Amino acid sequence: MNSLEINGEGLRAVDIFRFVTDSTVKVKLSKSVFASIKSSYEFLASKLRDTVIYGVNTGLGPMASYLIGKEQLIDLQTNLIRSHATGMGEPLRQDFVFAAMLVRLNTLSKGYSCVSVELIERLVLYLNERIAPVIPTHGAVGTSGDLVQLAHIALAIIGEGEVDYKGKRRQAIDVIKELGIEPYKLKPKEGLALINGTSVMSGIASILWMHAKNLLNIEIKNSALSLELIQAYNDGISKELHNLRPHPGQIEIAKSLRELLETSQLLRKRDSLNRNNKITDTVHQISDFVQEVYSFRCTPQILGPILETVTNSLQVIEIEINSVTDNPVLDREHKEFLHGGNFHGDYIAVTVDQIKMSLVKLSILSERRINFFMNQSINKFFPPFLNLNKPGLTLALQGLQFVATSTTAQNQSYAFPHSIHSIPTNADNQDVVSMGTDASLILDKVVENTYIVTTIEAVTLAQAVDFLQFQEKLAKSTHEMYNKVREKVATVIEDRSLTKELSALVEYFKSFANG
């Protein structure tokens, strides 16, 4: 069976991505989790009558000073879910929903949140049956976790609200009846445990990290091909140059470019400039360029910090998806409840902001190279907009540049860190908030935009290859990329709409995000 074992530890972004993109993957609980889940649940039950426990026998948030009678403990949990399942806006994508549910399952499986085995098994059932609670986009401030979004998951667990099931939006109660199961009845603390944590933002971040890594790989290949097309000097990516400034990312990008271009016939050695141009006693201009513009020559220095940001962010995300982000939680060793703030989302909020800004910079680099090849007054060689027909009568890739320019500009408008947009709320109980969920959703927009820009760059570069007829001189790696682009987008001779072809190429590039 194609399965994913959950044990509260070792869950990776690639595991989440695999589950949400492959409907044949089934979740199964490790046998190791049951003892700790059961013992923590039993410990909570033994303390309900003589211990004040936040959110279990007290009110919530600023109303924590209200003690709840023992006959109303279940009502409190149900009221919490119903009152917070008030999100607005378009629903989250199903892959984001399943990612959030998977992360919540993983953290509850650690056995510190005092939930029952029955609740854990109900989450497994929903995941394996691919029952996706409908979760509106708006509502989370990302500080006492993703309260509003997770409340919509919890609402579906108890048989209320709406779900997407087998391609249709339906009432949750109808789906679970169809499956022959009863609505889940919450036990003390389980409502709070379901909604108090960073599972939505960190689940989304896990998926988007995979795409960020993929986009960087696409842009490295675009960069290699662009260097071939201008017949750049090879010293710009030399090991000797980059060892003089030993940032790991810069060194790695330069190394990747050297490896991609190892079989290229197009890069030039620096001494070719001296052979072809003689210094005389008079000032005179030569036709050769001495140095490439920065969008080519500084590729390792630009993509290097992006690589480091993306690489380092994975550790933060994977620590988070394997963490206990509930409150309160059980200290199993000392048999006491710990009250704190592990639900605060700033680790994810700051991290996705950093990834977002890196991808915005990547899209700027991509757009500038598109402009170089389109703009005859800059490149001094290629026809306007890489027109392979009759410039003036036909417009070639002119429309594509508008799309790249507007999409990059939109990315720039998203670049401001959303994690600093803290607004106190909850009667100033939550007086510093993370906005991590919204930050993750903005990153999603930047990811989508960056796919568009880098795809347009790939088409632009392929058109330049056709103009130069360099196919047989390309490196093996860049020749393969050229061929893949041409499988989706044919050479533009006569003007035509490219929307469908570009969309197909975007989806093709996305397919490599699975690692």
Catalytic residue among 41, 54, 66, 233: 54
DSSP H helical ranges for 375-435 = 376-379, 398-414
Any idea what the Cα angle at residue 305 is, between residues 375 and 95, rounded to 5°?
90
Centre a 10 Å sphere on the Cβ of residue 471 and count the other Cβ atoms it contains. Answer: 14
Classify residue 395 by its DSSP letter.
-
Helix (H) or strand (E) holding 369: helix 346-374
Q: Which H, E and C letters describe 318-331, residue by residue?
A: HHHHCCCCCCCEEE
Torsion-angle region of residue 97: left (phi > 0), alpha (psi -120 to 50) or beta? alpha
Classify residue 357 by its DSSP letter.
H
Strand-pair category, 132-133 with 26-29: unpaired
Alpha-carbon Rg for the chain in angstroms: 27
Q: Read off φ and ψ for residue 168, nearest 5 degrees.
A: -130, 145
Task: Return the structure tokens found at 354.
Answer: 């950093």
What is the Cα–Cα distance from 192 to 84, expressed in whole angstroms?
A: 11
Active-site residue, 126 included: no
Q: Is the CB of residue 321 less than 8 Å from the CB of residue 206?
A: yes
Distance of CA 107 to the CA centre of its chain: 20
Any idea what the Cα angle at residue 192 is, between residues 190 and 198, rounded to 5°?
115
What is the Cα–Cα distance from 439 to 294, expressed in whole angstroms?
A: 31
List active site positions.
Answer: 54
